[in-house]
């Protein structure tokens, strides 16, 4: 979870009455922290946003959205390279859950270059991640550095 994610969450919370941030599994992504750890980080990072809650889901996003009767799935876009994959995902979700729509929020320029993959690589080489992630995540990375 990066400051870019937090920015998208805060902006979505201004647009919708209720926002549920879902910590989901994605077999194509290598995660540094477990789903439960990421859930804890999220809760701590967004505690001050009253209309946002967090949940863990191990399945299709469209199925979760259907279960919650969600009107929209919010996705963040950094660059055109994100768009093709996100567009395909949005079309698939629409097919699986016709009552939901995907809303794309573009990142602020401050976070354009930032990705969770970049942060994981930085951490793997012992770099300082604190500029890119909330304090709770930075502390977890730093605790791991001290162990090694």
CA distance 107 to 18: 20
The shares of helix, strand and coil residues in the chain, as percent rounded to the nearest 5, are: 50, 15, 35
**Distance of CA 122 to CAs 26, 43, 54, 105, Å?**
21, 24, 26, 26
Task: Return the closest-CA partner of residue 10 out of 92, 110, 93.
Answer: 110
Q: Does 116 qualify as catalytic in the annotation?
A: yes
CA distance 32 to 132: 15
Name the catalytic one among 11, 94, 115, 116: 116
Q: Does 34 qualify as catalytic in the annotation?
A: no
Q: Does 32 qualify as catalytic in the annotation?
A: no
Residue partners of 48: CB distance under 8 A and separation at least 6: none
Name the catalytic one among 25, 29, 117, 145: 29
Name the catalytic one among 5, 32, 38, 75: 5
3-class state of residue 143 by DSSP: helix
Element (H, E) at 41: helix 35-45
Q: Does 78 qualify as catalytic in the annotation?
A: yes
Name the catalytic one among 11, 43, 66, 78: 78
Catalytic residues: 5, 29, 78, 116
């Amino acid at each position: 979870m990066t400051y870019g994610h937090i920015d998208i969450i805060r902006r979505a919370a201004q647009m919708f009455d209720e926002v549920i941030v879902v910590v989901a599994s994605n077999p194509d992504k290598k995660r540094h922290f477990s789903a439960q750890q990421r859930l804890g980080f999220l809760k701590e990072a967004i505690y001050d946003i009253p209309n946002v809650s967090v949940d863990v889901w191990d399945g299709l996003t469209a199925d979760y959205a259907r279960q919650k009767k969600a009107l929209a799935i919010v996705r963040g876009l950094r660059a055109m390279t994100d768009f093709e994959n996100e567009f395909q995902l949005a079309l698939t979700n629409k097919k699986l859950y016709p009552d939901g729509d995907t809303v794309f929020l573009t990142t602020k320029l401050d976070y354009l270059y930032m990705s969770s993959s970049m942060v994981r690589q930085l951490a793997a080489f012992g770099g300082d991640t604190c500029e890119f992630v909330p304090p709770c995540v930075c502390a977890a990375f730093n605790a791991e550095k001290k162990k090694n």
